[in-house]
Structure 1
Amino acid sequence: MYEDFKITDTWSGENLHCRWTANIVAIATRHADAVDIRYDVNGRPVWIAMPCMAWVEQKKRTGNVITDALAAQIAGRYLKLAIESGYDNGREMYTMSVEEVLEQLNAVLDEAGHTSKLPPLIPTDDDAQPLP
């Protein structure tokens, strides 16, 4: 779905390859109450910051948790919509609100049908050498 997708930039017409690379708890890295989802967009790092309160609110509303795979899909869908709408201006970080996270979550689940149908997250590093 949104862990690896191609899209054309609205303003430049450039073809963009967007690929999920990591979920990082930002408390340790930026001292922020968020989870940062990293995408590479034509090799350029782009971070989508999702507030931790979205996890709390989702659990409170539905009793279900936001998994790593679901968080990556939510962030990827948000990034795709930002590019399609022309909101992407080449910046390195986007910050989602709790409501934006929950809106994107509902849209992803509507598309997938269930979290069990989400694609697995397999980090890839094209430069990595295989382990001996």
Structure 2
Amino acid sequence: MYEDFKATDRWTGDQLHCMWKGTIVAIATRHADATDIRFSVNGKPVWIAMPNQAWVEQKRRTGYVITDYLAAQAAGRYLKHAIESGYDNGREMYTMTVDEVLEHANAVVKEAGRTDKLPSLPVINENIRAEDEMAIHLPGEPA
């Protein structure tokens, strides 16, 4: 979905290759109340800052949580939209609002059908879930 995708820049027509690289809770790194999702866009780092309040609001509104996988997909969808709509101006950091996080998260879940259909991260092998490749499973998860 949005962990590894291509988008066409509205202004230049250039094809941009975007890849998820990591997720960092920015409280420790930037002293911000946000979670930063890092992408590589044609080899250059781009950060999408998502306010942590969105996690609280999602739980309050729906009873469901935003998982790490969903956060990465929502940030990727936001980035793709920014590039294709012309909002992308080559900067290194974008800040989403709570409503934008919820909008993109809901759209991703709708596209996928269910959260358990979201791609595992990191993508190590397209044919094997990361958890299986690395033999990492949480208690109670099927192996």
| Matched position secondary structure for 2:21 | strand
CA-atom RMSD in angstroms: 0.9
For the pair 1:71 / 2:71, whether they are aligned, the reply is: yes
| Matched position secondary structure for 1:108 | helix
Q: What is aligned with 1:105? A: 105
Instruction: Write out aligned runs for 1:16-35 (5 A).
Output: 16-35=16-35
TM-score where L is the length of structure 2: 0.84
Structure 1 residue runs of 4+, over 4 Å off? none
| Matched position secondary structure for 1:31 | coil
Partners of 1:17 and 1:122 in 2: CA distance: 17
| Structure 2: runs of 5 or more not aligned | 125-143
Partners of 1:24 and 1:101 in 2: CA distance: 16
The offset of 1:7, in angstroms, is 1.5
The offset of 1:123, in angstroms, is 5.4
Number of residue pairs matched by the alignment: 124
Answer 1 or 2: higher relative contact order, Cα 8 Å, separation at least 6.
1
The offset of 1:30, in angstroms, is 0.3
Kindly provide the CA deviation profile for residues 11-56 of structure 1, in whole angstroms up to 9, marking residues without a partner as x: 1111110000000000000000000000000010000000000000
Partners of 2:98 and 2:91 in 1: CA distance: 21
Residues 22 and 123 in structure 1, CA contact (< 8 A), matched pair in contact too: no
| Structure 1: runs of 5 or more not aligned | 125-132
The offset of 1:64, in angstroms, is 1.1
Percentage of matched positions with identical amino acids: 74
Partners of 1:100 and 1:76 in 2: CA distance: 12
Q: What is aligned with 1:115? A: 115
